């Protein structure tokens, strides 16, 4: 069966450092992968999308990589700030693109 | 920036009762979705809707669930006879185009917390 796994343990880092979050998947051949941010009691907020033929995508302090051989995406936040503290969700779409399957998310805590 | 809005923010219902959750998607969006998140668990897909039809649904979306777009702006999720295990946060989302097109993020509302007693 299809699985998307993110590190369920919280990631604690110091302000200014780079946070790296991992998303691994099995039994999928996604056309693209998305990353969302979720704050407590709020809905997911879209951050970045990367297609299967792209190795890397950047947006401001965010960077996503996508390795379809390893079946893994890495999500980086450089120069992290306390305001970056949230849960980060990885999501894969089905072939028709009309259904997202989410990972369990990784909670990031950035300490001042 | 346009938002997806959901009402009510919190709904408390007796088991066995019908409940309707309401959503106003972003106005120029054509694809609509419902997801749910049980406390402490993953966000789970329920259903997607396009051109007044369901385009995909999950195993969770059984005969007790239905969706409707009764007018040009609202998108509703109905649960006919609620069960205790329906207690969750329900998120509505919309996207401008379908996933077959590039760069189609889904825009989520802040959810309705449904509590079944």
Q: Quick check: B108 and A44 CB within 8 A?
A: yes
Return the SS3 of A41: coil
CA–CA dist B33, B48 (Å, integer): 4
Contact call for residues B107 and B29 (beta carbons, < 8 A): yes
Q: Quick check: A99 and B45 CB within 8 A?
A: yes
CA–CA dist B24, B4 (Å, integer): 6
Q: Is any Cβ of chain A less than 8 angstroms from the Cβ of B50?
A: yes
Per the model's pLDDT, the better-predicted residue between A26 and A63 turns out to be A63
User: What local confidence, expressed as pLDDT, does residue B103 receive?
Assistant: 55
User: What local confidence, expressed as pLDDT, does residue A78 receive?
Assistant: 97
B94: nearest CA partner in chain A: A98
pLDDT tens-digit profile of A5-22? Answer: 998 789 999 999 999 999
Q: Is any Cβ of chain A less than 8 angstroms from the Cβ of B91?
A: yes
CA–CA dist A100, B33 (Å, integer): 10
Q: Which of B48, B100, B105 sits opposite A49 (nearest CB)?
A: B105
CA–CA dist A69, A103 (Å, integer): 19
User: What local confidence, expressed as pLDDT, does residue B100 receive?
Assistant: 55
pLDDT band for B1, please (50, 70, 90 cuts): confident
The mean pLDDT of chain B is: 92
User: What local confidence, expressed as pLDDT, does residue B45 receive?
Assistant: 96
User: What local confidence, expressed as pLDDT, does residue B98 receive?
Assistant: 61
Residue B8 has pLDDT above 90, yes or no: yes
Contact call for residues A98 and A46 (beta carbons, < 8 A): no
Q: Quick check: A102 and B42 CB within 8 A?
A: yes
pLDDT tens-digit profile of A18-51? Answer: 999 999 998 877 778 899 999 999 999 999 999 8
pLDDT tens-digit profile of A65-97? Answer: 999 899 999 999 999 999 999 999 999 987 777
Q: Is any Cβ of chain A less than 8 angstroms from the Cβ of B4?
A: yes
H-assigned helices in B1-117: none
pLDDT tens-digit profile of B46-89? Answer: 999 998 999 999 999 999 999 999 887 899 999 999 999 999 99
Q: What is the least distance, in Å, from the CA of B70 to any CA of chain A? A: 21
CA–CA dist A74, A65 (Å, integer): 5
B106: nearest CA partner in chain A: A46
């Amino acid at each position: 069966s299809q699985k998307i796994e993110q590190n369920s343990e919280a990631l604690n880092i110091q302000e200014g450092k780079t946070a790296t979050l991992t998303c691994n998947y099995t039994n999928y051949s996604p056309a693209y992968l998305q990353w969302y941010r979720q704050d407590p009691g709020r809905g997911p907020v879209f951050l970045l999308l990367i297609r299967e033929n792209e190795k890397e995508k950047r947006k401001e302090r965010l960077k996503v990589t996508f390795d379809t051989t390893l079946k893994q995406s890495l999500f980086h936040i450089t120069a992290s700030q306390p305001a970056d503290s949230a849960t980060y969700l990885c999501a894969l779409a089905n072939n028709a693109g009309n259904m997202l399957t989410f990972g369990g998310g990784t909670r990031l805590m950035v300490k001042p | 920036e346009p938002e997806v809005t959901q009402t009510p923010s919190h709904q408390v219902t007796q088991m066995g009762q019908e409940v309707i959750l309401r959503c106003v998607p972003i106005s120029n969006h054509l694809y609509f979705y419902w997801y749910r998140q049980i406390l402490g668990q993953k966000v789970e897909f329920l259903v997607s809707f396009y051109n007044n039809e369901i385009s995909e649904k999950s195993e969770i979306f059984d005969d007790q669930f239905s969706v409707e777009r009764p007018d040009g702006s609202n998108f509703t999720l109905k649960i006919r006879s609620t069960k205790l295990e329906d207690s969750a946060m329900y998120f509505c989302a919309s996207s401008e185009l379908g996933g077959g097109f590039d760069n189609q993020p889904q825009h989520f509302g802040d959810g309705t917390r449904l509590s079944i007693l």
